[in-house]
């Protein structure tokens, strides 16, 4: 049984013809799912009854099981999805989030089950990596978020959920092709952002990818010393090496790099850190997104004060840096990466003492 969202028009056409369906039926199915947002074959009324039965029996339209759905007071929605067998241990679970504004409906999606990077402040990597998601499972997240009440068409995609996207390069780039394609979700390259902790070789590989997506670097520190304390994978590449790769990406694509900087109270949010970060940012054509930390139960980091955040931003701007403060979204539903999965697992451990 194949997964619909793993298919391209060519592979789906071949699948249909192999089973005695006309090749043009593939286009009809694509239209039902992506344009009409109908994913139940029973509702695909321009297909014959036998064709609808064949699709029902031999094609999966959703791989993931919805385990939890939360809606925040600001309209942010979060889904916890389970992949594989329900009784699998450890459970394969990922999160995806829909973040609405007046102009955008942004899908924040995962690329891996868990995360291999293990950033000290992040819930995604607690428990390590449980595996990669397939291209269709990545696309499915964005599609499902678009089906949420009062959402409608997804306008933007950010690979800022669980996992390191460039560590699952082949699946992520194949998913981007579907997200971008006219026959798929039709989301423009400028509206797709890949966020990476900084893998220079993979960034240079992305330079030759035919869809010039926006690249975001999860920097989170103004120098290598602090970065190594926060991000274990920082041992493998210096900030200078990562910036060289990012600059090469900008030179080839013309796409300005976004530096993501998570502010942790007393760790990287001091004025001296802002001054140092300004010098880093001047190294390439970039803007900075400042993000206030969402606390994770069990981790030893605190949210910075409003006064310190504004002083940090002002210090950057005084030095000519284009620094934006990202609005905190979904704090009342634990919308930060991996929080819902982390809290659900904690609750399961409490309800089943002696297990796990």
Mean pLDDT of 71-97: 87
In this prediction, residue 346 has a pLDDT band, given cuts at 50, 70 and 90, of very low
Helix and strand tally (H, E) in the chain?
11, 14
Same domain, 269 and 339: yes
Structural domain range at position 32: 2-60
Same domain, 30 and 134: no
Q: Which of 44, 60, 76 is the last residue of a domain?
A: 60
Query: What pLDDT score was predicted for residue 148?
Result: 87
Same domain, 7 and 117: no
% pLDDT > 90, the chain: 82
Query: What pLDDT score was predicted for residue 32?
Result: 98
Residue identified by tokens 């499972």 is 137
The answer to whether residue 169 is domain-embedded is yes
Strand partners, 288: 259, 323
Structure tokens at 335: 């919308």
CA 207 to chain centre: 20
Same domain, 197 and 320: yes
Q: Which of 60, 75, 106 is the last residue of a domain?
A: 60
The answer to whether residue 356 is domain-embedded is no
Same domain, 27 and 138: no
Same domain, 79 and 173: yes
The answer to whether residue 129 is domain-embedded is yes
Same domain, 87 and 198: yes
CA-based torsion, 328, 334, 335, 336: positive or negative: positive
The answer to whether residue 318 is domain-embedded is yes
Which is catalytic among the residues 95, 140, 164, 260? 95
CATH value at residue 26: 1.10.150.530
SS3 call for 352 = coil
Contacts made by residues 21-28, CB under 8 angstroms, sequence distance 24+: 21/51, 21/54, 25/51, 27/183
Same domain, 329 and 206: yes
Active site (annotated) includes residue 337 = yes
Mean pLDDT of 36-40: 97
CATH value at residue 259: 3.20.20.70
pLDDT tens by residue, 245-291: 999 999 999 999 999 999 999 999 999 999 999 999 999 989 999 99
Q: Which of 41, 60, 79 is the last residue of a domain?
A: 60
Same domain, 17 and 93: no
The answer to whether residue 274 is domain-embedded is yes
Active site (annotated) includes residue 119 = no
Same domain, 47 and 131: no
**Distance (Å, rounded) from C-alpha 81 to C-alpha 30?**
23
The answer to whether residue 18 is domain-embedded is yes
**Distance (Å, rounded) from C-alpha 138 to C-alpha 41?**
21
pLDDT tens by residue, 199-222: 999 999 999 999 999 999 999 999
Same domain, 186 and 309: yes
Same domain, 106 and 238: yes
pLDDT tens by residue, 162-197: 999 999 999 999 999 999 999 999 999 999 999 999
Q: How many residues does the chain have?
A: 356
The answer to whether residue 125 is domain-embedded is yes
Residue identified by tokens 């900075």 is 288
Domain count, the chain: 2
Which is catalytic among the residues 108, 115, 122, 337? 337
């Amino acid at each position: 049984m194949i997964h619909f969202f793993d298919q391209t028009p060519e592979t789906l056409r071949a699948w249909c013809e192999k089973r005695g369906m006309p090749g043009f039926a593939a286009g009809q199915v694509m239209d039902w799912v992506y344009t009409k947002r109908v994913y139940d074959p029973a509702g695909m009324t321009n297909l014959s009854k036998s064709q609808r039965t064949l699709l029902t029996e031999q094609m999966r339209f959703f791989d993931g099981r919805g385990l939890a759905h939360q809606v925040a007071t600001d309209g942010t929605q979060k889904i916890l999805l389970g992949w594989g067998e329900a009784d699998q241990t450890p459970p394969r679970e990922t999160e995806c989030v829909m973040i609405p504004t007046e102009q955008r409906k942004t899908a924040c999606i995962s690329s891996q089950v868990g995360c291999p990077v293990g950033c000290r402040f992040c819930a995604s990597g607690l428990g390590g990596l449980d595996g990669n998601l397939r291209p269709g499972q990545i696309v499915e997240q964005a599609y499902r978020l678009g089906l949420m009440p009062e959402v409608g068409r997804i306008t933007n995609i950010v690979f800022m959920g669980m996992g390191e996207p460039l560590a699952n390069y082949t699946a992520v780039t194949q998913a981007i092709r579907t997200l971008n394609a006219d026959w798929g979700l039709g989301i423009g390259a400028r509206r797709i952002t890949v966020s990476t902790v900084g893998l220079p070789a993979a960034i240079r590989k992305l330079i030759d990818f035919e869809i010039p997506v926006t690249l975001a670097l999860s920097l989170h520190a103004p120098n290598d010393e602090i970065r190594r304390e926060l991000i274990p994978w920082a041992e493998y590449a210096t900030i200078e090496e990562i910036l060289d790769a990012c600059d090469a990406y900008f030179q080839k694509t013309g796409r300005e790099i976004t530096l993501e900087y998570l502010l942790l109270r007393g760790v990287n949010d001091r004025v001296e850190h802002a001054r140092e970060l300004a010098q880093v940012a001047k190294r390439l054509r970039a803007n900075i997104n400042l993000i206030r930390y969402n606390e994770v139960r069990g981790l030893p980091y605190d949210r910075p004060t409003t006064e310190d955040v504004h002083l940090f931003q002002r210090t950057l701007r005084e030095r000519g840096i284009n620094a934006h403060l990202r609005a905190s979204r979904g704090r009342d539903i634990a919308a930060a990466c991996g929080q819902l999965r982390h809290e659900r697992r904690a609750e399961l451990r409490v309800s089943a003492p002696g297990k796990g």
